[in-house]
Structure 1
Amino acid sequence: MMRDTETSKIVIDVENLSIGFRGRAGGMLPVLRNISLSVGTGESIGLVGESGSGKSTLALAMMGYLKTGLKVLEGKAHFDGIDMFAQDQRAFERIRGGRLGLIPQNSGQSLTPSLRVGAQIREALRLHSSLSEDRFDGRVIDLLGQVRLPDPEAIARRYPHELSGGQQQRVAIAMALAGEPEALLLDEPTTGLDVTTQAHILELLRDLARDTGMAMVYVSHDLGAIARVCDRVVVMYAGEVVLEGASRQVLRDPGHPYARGLLASIPKLSDKCLPRALDGRPPAPGQAGEGCAFVSRCAIATEQCRTSRPELAPQPDGIRTRCHLPEHVRSIPLTGERETGMRNLPAALSLTLKDIAISYTQPGLVDRLLGRETHTVATVDGISIALRHGETLGLVGESGSGKSTILKSISGLLPPIRGKTTLKDQENLPAKVEDRDSRHLRQVQLIFQNPDESLNPRQTISQILAQPLKLYFGLTGQALLDRSAELLEQVRLGSHYLDRLPSQLSGGEKQRVAVARAFAAQPELVLCDEITSALDVSVQAAVLELLDDLRRDNDTSYIFVSHDLAVVKALSDRVAVLYQGRLCELGSTQDVYGSVAHPYTEILLGAVLEPDPDFTPTLAASDVVELSPPESGCPFQRRCPKRIGSICEETAPPRRDFADGHIIWCHREDLSS
């Protein structure tokens, strides 16, 4: 969907922009260095790079917004010819949210917790659309339906806290689209979305850009999403552009060492190995040196790279690359190196779930006082899984399938209404976290999807890491500082982060701190709730390697929840597929991914994106997610492309056992494994 450069209008224009902050020594330290790029009507540009590379800073600067402490050192940013750094607040109010929309990475930053979803979207329509008020309600429902939210009327009546993280993100997207923007800035907009919803949302964004001429600047770590939506890709490193060109050239055969490292960091369904993590870390602001900023991490660097900064120069294939040795770049491999697969695990169990049922609906106060029994519909039901020492179990399924709910139950945050949870040698695990002793608390650690929900904004990183180290191991003084620094090094952060507050970190950096804090307890079971969703691909690869190392060294067990099926495949020994809180399939990673048997698993795998602009996911145009399962029969019956009749509507699917513990819940008798 390349724009016609001769007829399109420049919507966003950035010219020689440098942004920085004042360091402790008094000098200005650059965060962005001499950035120049433009975006035309109907064009989509992807900004990619590791956390801290300047992607979000650049996108926000296009709106005329700078985080506290940042200043424009030189250059300009224009929207439709308007100098965005020369406007007053009233002018910004006329532009932002309407003509120029933003979808933030963290939907919690854009949703008001005390207002219902429908009221928040109506407010966006009132401020930024030309619709008459009598049409607001209908438009709210249309927008919620466009972003594939189930039962839009019911969703509109809910508060944000009553929605999953993925559902909140879709509401934020609907709010941004309410103003029918001329340009849309998207900062990791699909991070919290499941694979099918992400694929459909990306199709929606592509269609909007094509049909309305809306320009898009798409910031993402997900190169599969970038490949699906963007015409051009801009790769950033240490605050500057190191590679720019058409998506096909940049993503299929990158012409810069850093871009090749990013591509090798991505887990793929076709791979049988963990992705390759980039060695080292990006330089801190002001520490890039006189030569190439990437020199310390580059496999082909020479003395010239250490002493001379390369220019962003055009190449014969049409790309622009900042490299002294473009002719040698393609010698760098694009694949991972550590083989994965089913390992020989000990027979001892780490955790057992038996007939677990969980509900968010609790009996009312009067019912509890009178001791009356109430009928509670289970959000999650019939979950029986045994996890061995050192095993990783992946939980996959769309938003609302019950993955995070199961983790909350195991961690004691949401006690089950039925069933039994045992830890290790048939030791009963108290259902409520307040009934657990310090040993149980140390053994079972939960890492949340959104680090803002678990990191105290008033504490430094040093104080955050000190809590488990003091509580469980009694560390103090220099030993405490040394162990804290070691934990940060394990998750690819340096000791200079210890004095920072969470607000001074990027989204990916905050998630790494949350991972480090969980590992500080030296747990036996780690519950990972979308812990890599906010990480850039190179750090994600490093965290996957870290998880794998800890598992091998300490027999640590994991339950790993993720929407990224390639990440789950790379790390997991077994996979459980969930739909509407019910198990559809359970088996080894090789069986679930290699001999697809359940129709729902087939739909999930068909929607997985690849970092290739020529790849097209398999999507069912009429497939619509549901808010709740049917009252009887198979929970997937209304969406199943292989439904066989009334038996699917009336009778719960039977359990079918195949070789090597592969289990499928389905009425079809022609399944293969």
Structure 2
Amino acid sequence: MSTQPPLIDISGLSVGFRGRSGAMLPVLHEVDLAVCRGESVGIVGESGSGKSTLALAAMGYLRHGLARLGGEARFDGQDMFALAPPALSRIRGGKLGLIPQNSGQALTPTQRIGAQIAESLRLHCDHDPASHRDRARDLLAQVRLPDPDTILTRYPHELSGGQQQRVAIAMALAGEPEALLLDEPTTGLDVTTQAHILALLRGLARERDMAMVYVSHDLGVIAQVCDRVHVLYAGETVLAGPARSVLTAPTHPYAAALLAAIPRLGARALPRALGGRPPTPDMPRTGCAFAPRCALATDDCRAAPPPMIDTRDDQRARCLYPEKVGPLGHAESAPPAASPDGPPLLTTRALAVRYDSPGILARLRGAPRPPATVDGIDLTLRRGETLGLVGESGSGKSTILRAIAGLLPPAGGRIALEDGTDLATAAERRRPETLRRIQMIFQNPDESLNPRQSVGDILAQPLRLYFGLRGQPCRDRAAELLDTVRLGAHYLDRLPGQLSGGEKQRVAVARAFAAGPEAVLCDEITSALDVSVQAAVLELLGDLKARHGTGFIFVSHDLTVVRALSDRVAVLYQGRICEAGPTEAVFAPPHHPYTDVLLGAVLAPDPDHAPRLLAEDAAELAPPAQGCPFQRRCPVKCGTICETDTPPARETAEGHVIHCHIPLEDLRAREGEQAAS
């Protein structure tokens, strides 16, 4: 650890809220955190452990209803909770930048992107206003947004979730901060963009001697960026130390359990969730908070809180038996059942979706329309099956789901249920029974949770609409649904604003399941969840699939999750299918060159793991007019045939098709050379 004075210095910080009894209930317990210039510290733990509360406290901010119970938070020697608002404003967004988990909290929906970045530059920089547009363009290029000039003219709703998140990162960097607070900043990003953004952040930290506090449930991200790691459990630090030793040989059983719950790219199996759930703030503490879930716990652990002690490899652990924490293993449950062979539950044929709407003058001039955003999509979903859709941000995954859900009008093709019900109609024109049969869970839970309704009211809505439940039976069923997503009945009276990002996502999952659907459209539903809760949700999806024959279309940037859960996978680029087939076939060589790029960028919770990225790589805004959709980025492009001709479908095994001009034997040879090197 550096000997220089810390830039961010949090000591003995306790934060809490007033419960119904009138007593103050702590959510942070005497937490210490020191971060020096040029240093990056990761904060990890399950949802609700206090990670975001700690990061926001570093800038003197607490969510509504929370209060500081003790301790202090200093930035560059200044007490952030004692500063007057003008002084705070000069620090926040300038010297101390924040990248929030939900980009919607950082972007104004009624302002164009260019205007929002220009505002950040005007407030926090001394640049000549005439240079703001060029500076904004450079910032967007830094975070790998395609065609920055076009992005500057768009509104937030015209961008994908991953693109919005990159805009939020660019805005935080606009103030040229001395320190960055990053609250799950890469949650909504695809694997290639995430790897590039992490490389950018590492480079900026070195160049600017910038401090970073990185909150994340993704331990692969923490391994790539952070020098040190603090593990929080139920509002207190249970383990702290160098990233390498914490992630490879942790000396606290909680950290070991988190690492064991991560799905791995090398095996198709559902990770086994950590049993039980963290204590609520109103629960009395007489011993170790983790004892009820710990396999090493003894009566001594339950009798008194353990102290923070020095262990091995420069780690400090809040545990009586750190030496008993053994080598890491990977906890797995049985792999998903084989893909069903029954009749299709849902099909799309030649599905096309357009976002462009040419004006009158363009139509009169006969100007050619740009290629469709999504085109030629043929998908089949059977009962009891999970179909995974993977690809970078902007590849059309969410667009396909929204078209199936009736939230976007198809420009062509057909969407239908097994009984012939036409789904190429808007949601508001569908019959209630059709709406019940197909439910969607959004990437951003704020899109489906009314901020003025309690969790109980949110869950009661589908129960009343589809099943006529009222009163206590309705509340009991809502409590059962919360138990399935590992929350509990005590959440029924909370508002969405009182929940963490992961807790809100679990409520959104419960709301979709409340309708008893036959098909569930899952749009990045695990991206905001910690690894333990993610494992529990994956187990839940597998159980519903087995017991009720529920079909899932599962969109995710996380290829390890897709491999663990899916029976079949389709790989999309620029709204076109590049590769599709049974999961095991898609994840085994040979791959489409684009699939190979995605797999090479997957992170692992190992500081020695280096993602494999294209040396010269730039994201694209729109597909080419003809030829292979991946032609402009392909590292093994054949020639002009890739620019002019639609790639042929090459079948490597039964049901596994790669759309590529490159012969299969050449793809196999190339991947063999990569493996050897």
Structure 1 residue 612 displacement after superposition: 0.6
Does the CA-based 8 Å contact 1:244-1:319 persist in structure 2? yes
Counterpart position of 1:407: 401
User: For 1:629-670, what per-residue CA distance to the aligned partner results, in whole angstroms no more than 9, with x for missing partners?
Assistant: 112211110100010111001111111223220011111113
Counterpart position of 1:598: 592
Structure 1 residue 134 displacement after superposition: 2.1
Does the CA-based 8 Å contact 1:395-1:559 persist in structure 2? yes
For residues 222 and 652 of structure 2, what CA distance do their matches in structure 1 show? 39
Structure 1 residue 441 displacement after superposition: 0.5
Does the CA-based 8 Å contact 2:453-2:495 persist in structure 1? yes
Does the CA-based 8 Å contact 1:273-1:336 persist in structure 2? no
The farther-off stretch of 21-30 and 438-447 is 21-30
Q: 1:181 to 1:376 in 2, by over 3 A?
A: closer
Superposition pairs for residues 151-230 of structure 1, below 5 Å? 151-230=147-226
For residues 238 and 491 of structure 1, what CA distance do their matches in structure 2 show? 18
For residues 293 and 313 of structure 2, what CA distance do their matches in structure 1 show? 25
2:351 aligns with one of 356, 377, 385: 356
For residues 284 and 624 of structure 2, what CA distance do their matches in structure 1 show? 58
For residues 26 and 521 of structure 2, what CA distance do their matches in structure 1 show? 38
SS at structure 2 position matched to 1:419: strand
Counterpart position of 1:26: 22
Q: 1:238 to 1:345 in 2, by over 3 A?
A: same
SS at structure 1 position matched to 2:587: helix
Does the CA-based 8 Å contact 2:414-2:424 persist in structure 1? no
2:544 aligns with one of 550, 575, 578: 550
Counterpart position of 2:93: 97
Counterpart position of 1:500: 494
SS at structure 2 position matched to 1:338: coil
Counterpart position of 1:623: 617
For residues 441 and 336 of structure 2, what CA distance do their matches in structure 1 show? 24
1:265 maps to 2:256: no
For residues 536 and 396 of structure 2, what CA distance do their matches in structure 1 show? 28
User: For 1:319-349, what per-residue CA distance to the aligned partner results, in whole angstroms no more than 9, with x for missing partners?
Assistant: 0000111121217x63122132560513211
**Aligned partner letter, 1:101:** G
Counterpart position of 2:516: 522
SS at structure 1 position matched to 2:483: helix
- RMSD, aligned CA: 1.8
Does the CA-based 8 Å contact 2:463-2:469 persist in structure 1? yes
For residues 557 and 371 of structure 2, what CA distance do their matches in structure 1 show? 25
1:562 maps to 2:553: no
SS at structure 2 position matched to 1:633: coil
Structure 1 residue 375 displacement after superposition: 5.0
User: For 1:597-617, what per-residue CA distance to the aligned partner results, in whole angstroms no more than 9, with x for missing partners?
Assistant: 200000001000001111000
For residues 9 and 620 of structure 1, what CA distance do their matches in structure 2 show? 39
User: For 1:500-528, what per-residue CA distance to the aligned partner results, in whole angstroms no more than 9, with x for missing partners?
Assistant: 11111111111101000100111110000
Counterpart position of 1:127: 123
- The count of residues paired between Structure 1 and Structure 2 equals 666
For residues 256 and 202 of structure 1, what CA distance do their matches in structure 2 show? 27
2:662 aligns with one of 653, 657, 668: 668
1:70 aligns with one of 59, 66, 71: 66
* TM-score, normalization by structure 1: 0.96
SS at structure 2 position matched to 1:53: coil
For residues 171 and 397 of structure 1, what CA distance do their matches in structure 2 show? 20
Identity %: 63
Q: 1:148 to 1:430 in 2, by over 3 A?
A: closer
Counterpart position of 1:393: 387
Does the CA-based 8 Å contact 2:410-2:424 persist in structure 1? no
Structure 1 residue 367 displacement after superposition: 11
Does the CA-based 8 Å contact 2:270-2:336 persist in structure 1? no
Q: 1:588 to 1:18 in 2, by over 3 A?
A: same
* TM-score, normalization by structure 2: 0.96
1:438 maps to 2:432: yes
1:334 aligns with one of 305, 308, 329: 329
Superposition pairs for residues 255-334 of structure 1, below 5 Å? 255-330=251-326, 334=329
Does the CA-based 8 Å contact 1:238-1:288 persist in structure 2? no
1:139 aligns with one of 125, 135, 138: 135
The farther-off stretch of 22-31 and 173-182 is 22-31
**Aligned partner letter, 1:356:** L
For residues 463 and 363 of structure 1, what CA distance do their matches in structure 2 show? 42
Q: 1:316 to 1:387 in 2, by over 3 A?
A: closer
Counterpart position of 1:381: 375
For residues 544 and 380 of structure 1, what CA distance do their matches in structure 2 show? 28
SS at structure 1 position matched to 2:381: strand
Counterpart position of 1:80: 76
**Aligned partner letter, 1:545:** E
Structure 1 residue 270 displacement after superposition: 1.7
**Aligned partner letter, 1:263:** L
Structure 1 residue 373 displacement after superposition: 13
**Aligned partner letter, 2:472:** Q
The farther-off stretch of 333-342 and 190-199 is 333-342
User: For 1:344-384, what per-residue CA distance to the aligned partner results, in whole angstroms no more than 9, with x for missing partners?
Assistant: 5132111111111111234669999x9x9995741100011
Structure 1 residue 288 displacement after superposition: 4.9
Counterpart position of 2:48: 52
SS at structure 2 position matched to 1:428: coil
Counterpart position of 2:443: 449
Q: 1:326 to 1:619 in 2, by over 3 A?
A: same
2:34 aligns with one of 26, 31, 38: 38
**Aligned partner letter, 1:21:** F
For residues 556 and 336 of structure 1, what CA distance do their matches in structure 2 show? 25
For residues 133 and 488 of structure 1, what CA distance do their matches in structure 2 show? 51
Counterpart position of 1:236: 232
Structure 2 spans left out of the alignment, 5+ residues: 669-677
Does the CA-based 8 Å contact 2:483-2:489 persist in structure 1? yes
For residues 423 and 118 of structure 2, what CA distance do their matches in structure 1 show? 46
For residues 288 and 14 of structure 1, what CA distance do their matches in structure 2 show? 25
Structure 1 residue 390 displacement after superposition: 0.8
For residues 620 and 367 of structure 1, what CA distance do their matches in structure 2 show? 37
Counterpart position of 1:423: 417
1:650 maps to 2:644: yes
Counterpart position of 2:471: 477
**Aligned partner letter, 1:278:** L
SS at structure 2 position matched to 1:619: coil
User: For 1:269-326, what per-residue CA distance to the aligned partner results, in whole angstroms no more than 9, with x for missing partners?
Assistant: 0233211211111111142511000111111110011111001111132100001111
Does the CA-based 8 Å contact 2:651-2:657 persist in structure 1? yes
**Aligned partner letter, 2:406:** G
SS at structure 2 position matched to 1:251: helix
Counterpart position of 2:462: 468
1:106 aligns with one of 102, 105, 118: 102
1:579 maps to 2:573: yes
Does the CA-based 8 Å contact 1:349-1:425 persist in structure 2? no
SS at structure 2 position matched to 1:201: helix
Structure 1 residue 429 displacement after superposition: 2.8
**Aligned partner letter, 1:190:** T
For residues 179 and 430 of structure 1, what CA distance do their matches in structure 2 show? 46
User: For 1:51-71, what per-residue CA distance to the aligned partner results, in whole angstroms no more than 9, with x for missing partners?
Assistant: 111111111111011112222
**Aligned partner letter, 1:284:** T
Does the CA-based 8 Å contact 1:291-1:306 persist in structure 2? yes
The farther-off stretch of 514-523 and 663-672 is 663-672
